[in-house]
């Protein structure tokens, strides 16, 4: 069996066992790096348009095409500085870490996509996006002021409902 190593050397002539060991040595780190990296990223199971439509339905909001949908930025592909610049005027301070947020002035959603963050029970990236979409509808459609604390309560309820209906539908069915 001929096998070209990472640096292009042919290891065939070194003998079977040396060849196999060399193959493991060059393949294993790359494979572990790839799966490790992708395993650390939480990915949406649902299309953002679907999530937005479900959130709008629950909040009794009729979506209008003339109102722009927010741009979504995930942590792994967004410089921290961009998030800080976006959120600082709204929060009146510059956070040191990325977090889930809806930035009203820019109509942007920032979303953590670190799988470790969503390892806690009841947390999913789809649910978090539903939460931020709730804030988007509150601001852009219902003209609410995000300083109102009841808006957070509503967003949390929308997030829970979305997860029960779509992310964990079997749990919801068992409860009915
Ligand atoms: Zn919130």
d(CA 59, CA 56): 5
| pLDDT of 35 | 60
Task: Assess whether pLDDT exceeds 80 at residue 22.
Answer: no
> Looking at residues 23-46, what average pLDDT do you find?
63
pLDDT digits (tens, 9 = 90+) for 35-92: 667 779 999 999 999 999 999 999 999 999 999 999 999 999 999 999 999 999 999 9
Distance 65 CA to ligand 1 centre (A): 24
Q: Give 101's strand partners.
A: 110
| Centroid of ligand 1 to alpha carbon of 121 (angstroms) | 18
Burial 108-128 (b: 16+ CB within 10 A, else e): bbbbbbeeebbeeeeebbbbb
Longest dimension (CA), the chain: 73
Q: Say how many Å lie between the CA of residue 148 and the centre of ligand 1.
A: 11
- Residue 12: pLDDT band (50, 70, 90) is very low
Expressed in angstroms and rounded, the spacing between residue 134 Cα and the centre of ligand 1 is 8
The rounded Cα 97 to chain-centroid distance in angstroms is 15
* CA 156 – ligand 1 centroid, Å: 7
Q: What is the pLDDT of residues 82-139, one digit of tens each?
A: 999 999 999 999 999 999 999 999 999 999 999 999 998 889 999 999 999 999 999 9
Does the pTM of the predicted model rise above 0.85?
no
Cα dihedral 88→94→95→97 (10° resolution): 100
Cβ-count burial 51-77 (b if 16+ within 10 Å, e if not): bbebbbebbebeeeeeeeebeebbbee
Instruction: Give, as residue ranges, everything with CB less than 5 Å from ion ligand 1.
Output: 152, 155
Which helix (H) or strand (E) covers residue 10, if one does?
none
């Amino acid at each position: 069996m001929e096998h070209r190593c990472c640096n292009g050397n042919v290891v065939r002539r070194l003998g079977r066992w040396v060849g196999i060991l060399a193959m493991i040595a060059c393949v294993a780190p790359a494979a572990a790096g790839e799966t490790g990296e992708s395993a650390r990223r939480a990915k949406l199971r649902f299309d953002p348009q679907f999530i937005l439509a479900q959130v709008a339905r629950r909040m009794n909001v009729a979506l209008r095409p003339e109102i722009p949908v927010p741009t979504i930025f995930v942590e792994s592909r967004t410089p921290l500085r961009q998030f800080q610049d976006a959120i600082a005027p709204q929060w009146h301070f510059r956070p040191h870490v990325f977090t889930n947020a809806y930035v009203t002035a820019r109509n942007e959603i920032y979303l953590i996509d670190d799988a470790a963050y969503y390892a806690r029970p009841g947390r999913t990236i789809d649910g978090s996006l539903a939460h931020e979409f709730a804030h988007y509808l509150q601001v852009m459609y219902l003209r609410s002021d995000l300083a109102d604390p009841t808006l957070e309560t509503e967003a949390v309820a929308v997030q829970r409902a979305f997860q029960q209906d779509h992310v964990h539908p079997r749990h919801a069915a068992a409860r009915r």
